[in-house]
Structures are given as structure tokens and as C-alpha cells.
Amino acid sequence: MMKKSSLILSLLLCAASLFAQKADYNIVPLPRSIEADTTKTFTLTADDAISIAATAADTETAQAMERNAAFLHEYLLEEAGLDISIRHADKKAGIQLRLLKGKEQIKADTPSPQDAYRITVNKRGIELAANTPEGIFRAVQSVRKMLVPAVGTSYNQHFKNIATNGVKFDYAVINDAPRFAYRGQHLDCARHFFSTDFTKRYIDLLAMHGINQFHWHLTDDQGWRFEVKSMPELAKKACRREQTVIGHNCGIYDATPYGEGCYYTHEEMRDIVKYAAERYVNIIPEIDLPGHMVAALHVYPELGCTGGPYQVWPIWGVADDVLCVGNPKTLDFLKKVLSELCDVFPSPYIHIGGDESPRVRWKKCPKCQGKMKELGLKREAELQTYVNKELENFLAQRGRSIIGWDETLEGGLSPNAIVMSWRGYEGGIAAAKQKHHVIMTPTSHCYIDYYQLKNTHDQPLAIGGYLPMSKVYSMEPVPSGLTKEEEQYIMGPQCNLWTEYVLSPDHVEYMTLPRLAAMCEVQWLLPEAKDFEQFSKRLDRLQQAYRRLNYKFCRRWE
């Protein structure tokens, strides 16, 4: 016979399991301002509805608001088990999506006002308000994460509790806006190829974390993944390497061809661009030049200084063979590639690489030396600037700006180039002082191809190094030593994931998570709002969503 105290405890536990679940406003990234009244709650149930407050004046905005409502419907079903209908201009609906106009628009202190939003919870229900559909989307993502069950509560129990008693939201006014307009994440698909389906899944992950720029590395020495219709042999032949080195360039090869047919067609890329745009993620494509071009030289050896022959590189590292800048056909080739790139990607930014481009071949190449004499150049580094300027002008005619790695500083920057500072902060500081825009991505805080735990034996293979989540979180993208004016040139930070040693989608996710969550708070929060201990507690709950979505992630952090 059960003891009285045990019976009471069992009854209390049973009763607790039937209580309404409570939304948690302490999400990742943490909203800028939360004013909550915990004595009053609104309960959301399956009988409620999502209402788009008013029909937008233009078709594009109306469609965007319909998508936002559909996303919210999807997330409510996934995170709370609530299949809530969507209506139009229904003032009695429990959730209202409303675009603000005129004087009632949010005037947030942010370089990205289109991302600002306000969530209001009161007796009438939940209102998601913003100046733009993009801001509404950010609010929808926040509500989604508020619904994740508490640690220790299974989704099955979570759904049962909600089906019985709904979800309680404390009365609140939540105002939010990101610190930086540029919030990036990079993925290298050249060294190892990832399918269109996985790329979309990765974009979903970025959107969940407030990322709005996906830097997509498409070409390198070890593989070319971008279809160029005017040169059909390029992707078909340059996508495949005959074998791949095992481990860290140990001199032993797997004797297995890799990458046959592994490139993205225009149609596939346009589909991915559309998918990302619907989630307010811009895709920045990268064609790395004039170095990291051995795969292209394999198909067009006449574009190299030696004439080849060249093989798609089976090892990792930096190749001495680069494009011959003295050959007029080289610029013709690059302009054909970039012209088609612009046809596929509407991004205002095109990344032209510029990193790790040795000049040893240029020093001995008669054509390159002749070009230097023709242009009156004194250093080979200036040849790279010559190419950058030519391509910057070419892309400017198409309304695009170029981004280059910080090596592009060495021969002098082209007039409107954006610098991506990866070899520390110094390149970014120098560029900002020259009044060039900068994206901060130093290896010390942003290279998530490094190990995230000290004990490397417990982890998948990585390039080396050690970058724990706490170090990512500690990043300050705006370095000291800049004037207030110069600080305005820091666009924002991003993490980079190079894939020499990352072979599978699961491995990509593991290297990304949870460090992406740390970076998203760096991108979103003001410095004084960051607190790693509190972030770690909020992350525990977010990982419940990772599990449900079957994302692979590092379950420990340092």
C-alpha cells in the first residue's frame, strides 16, 4: 500500500503535468528589452487564430506577410502541437501580425531598422508588430523559440499539456533590434560538396539564429561547384578530383575520385536563392581569385603562367599556381564567370576572394612582368589590385560591390572594396581607417573549422586549433583604437566553416552548433547585454529545439 506522503507527491506531479505550459522570453538571441508582468497571462489555445491585421498596399508585401503567417503556423504546430488557422483582419484572433505605418513605426537605435520588431502580450492576445515583413519574420522566430519546452520536459508531454491547457504568455512588451546590419555565416562547398536539400536545411538554421548573410564559397583548388553555361566544360571537369589526401596532408591518398557531377546548376542555385530570400537571408557567392584556381586551370591551362598541365588539387593548402594576370584572356574568363554569377545571385555583394594568392609565378612570368611594365607597377601585389579594380568596375555596372579577404590590402584597395578581415583584427582596422567597410571574421574568434573541445579525441576530425564556444561569445567586433567615425565602417561579424576535413552534413552541423548560437548573440546584442553564464542557461533550452529538428551539435561546451 502506497504511503500517504508518496500518494500526495504523485498527485502533485500528475497535476503539475496538466498545467499549461509557459512561454519563456529568455531566448537566443536575447531580446533587447523585455518588460513583463508575471502576475497576468494570456493563454494561447488551438481555438485561437493568426490574423494578418490588414492587407498590404503592394502584392510583394502582401505575399511576404502571408509567408510569415504560414511560418508561424508551421512553428506553432512543430513547437506546441497547435494547428491554428490563419485569417485576415480578424481583430478577435489570438495572434495579430501588424505592419506599422507613419508615426507608430518603431524608431530603433540600430543600423538595421528593417529587423526591428515589438511583441505585445495583453488580455487581447499576442501582437507581432514591425515596420517591415522582415521585422515580422524576426518576431515570428522569437515566438517560435519561446515555445520550446523546458529542459527535462519531453515534446510528447509538452504537446499533451498544451492540448489540455494551452500555452501561457506573461503580459509583456518586448522590443528588439540587432546591433549589426551584417550578420553572416560562411560555408565552404568547394572542398566538399553539399546537396541543395542540405543547403536549404542550413539556411533554415541560419534564419533561426537571426543570420541574414550566407557567404557561399563555391570554387577552390579542390573543386569548382558553379555552373557557367557559356563554358560548360568548366564545372563538368573541374568539379572532380582524382583522389583526396588522407588526414592532415600526410602524403597518403584514398585513391578514390571525388565530386563527379557535384556542382550546382543555375536552376538549383536560383531555387536556393529564392528559398533563402523568403527567410530574409541574402546569399553572397564567392569565386576565389586570382589564387585558389587550380581546378579552373585544369580545364583552361592556358590561363596559368606555366601553361600546365594542372590537376584538380588532391591536397589541402596553398598552391603556387594562380591565374596569369598578364594574359588578356584571364580577365575575359573572369568577366564571363562573374556575369553569370550576377545573373543567378541578386546579392548586392560579390565575394572575389583574394586570399592566399602567391606571386612566385608572376615574378617569373613574362606576360605578368610585361603587364606590370605597361601599368607602371612596382610590386607584384599591385597586379592583384589591378585585377580587383577591373572587376570592381565591371561589377559596379551591374550594381554590385566586391568583398575581398584582407590580403587585398597589400597592393592597395580598389576604391569601393569591402574587406573581410580574417588574419586577426589588423586588416579590418587598416581598412576602416581608409574608410572602407569591414566584415570582422578573425581566426581567433570566428573559424569554426577548429576544434571546440580541448580533448580532440572525443570529436570529429578538424583542421586543428581550438575555438571553444566561450571564445566565440567573447568576441567584440568593433576593435579599440578606431574613432567614432571609423567604427561606423564595421558592418558586422561572421563565422567561417572551411570543409577540408568536414565531409558530411552531420559534421557541418556539429562544427556549427552551438557556436552559431554564440555568434548570433555577438551579432545581435549590445556588448553590455552579453553574459556567458546566462547565455549558457538559455542555450540549454534552445538545444531542445536542435534535438527535435535532428540537428547534430556538440553537447558539451567550454
How close are the terminal C-alpha atoms of the chain, in Å?
A: 48
Query: pLDDT means per 10 residues in the chain (558 residues)?
Result: 49 50 97 98 97 82 96 97 95 96 92 97 98 98 97 94 96 98 98 98 98 98 98 98 95 97 98 98 98 98 98 98 98 98 98 98 98 97 97 97 97 94 98 98 98 92 97 97 97 98 98 98 98 97 97 95
* Nearest C-alpha neighbor of 174 from the set 44, 41, 35, 42: 35
Q: What nine digits make up the cell of 92?
A: 478577435
Whether residue 29 has a cis bond before it, omega within 30° of 0: yes
Quick one: 332 exposed, middle or buried, by C-beta within 10 A (0-12, 13-18, 19+)?
exposed
- What is the β-pairing status of strands 184-188 and 213-217? parallel
Distance in angstroms (rounded) separating the CA atoms of residues 167 and 174:
18
Distance set, CA 351 to CA 6, 186, 522 (Å): 65, 11, 23
- DSSP per residue, 355-398: -S---HHHHH-HHHHHHHHHHT-SSTHHHHHHHHHHHHHHHHTT
Output the pLDDT for position 458: 83
Q: On the CB side of 196, how many CA atoms lie within 13 Å of its CA?
A: 14
Helix (H, G, I), strand (E, B) or coil at 322: coil
Whether the Cβ atoms of residue 516 and residue 205 lie closer than 8 Å to each other? yes
Taken in order of first residue, the domains within the chain and their CATH numbers are: 18-176 (3.30.379.10), 190-501 (3.20.20.80)
Check residue 56 and give its pLDDT. 65
List, by residue number, the catalytic residues: 220, 292, 356
CB 68 within 8 A of CB 136: yes
Please give the biggest Cα pair distance in the chain: 100
> How confident is the model at residue 444, as a pLDDT?
98
AA identity, residue 341: L
Question: What is the predicted pLDDT for the residue at 361?
Answer: 98
Q: Would you state the pLDDT for residue 3?
A: 53
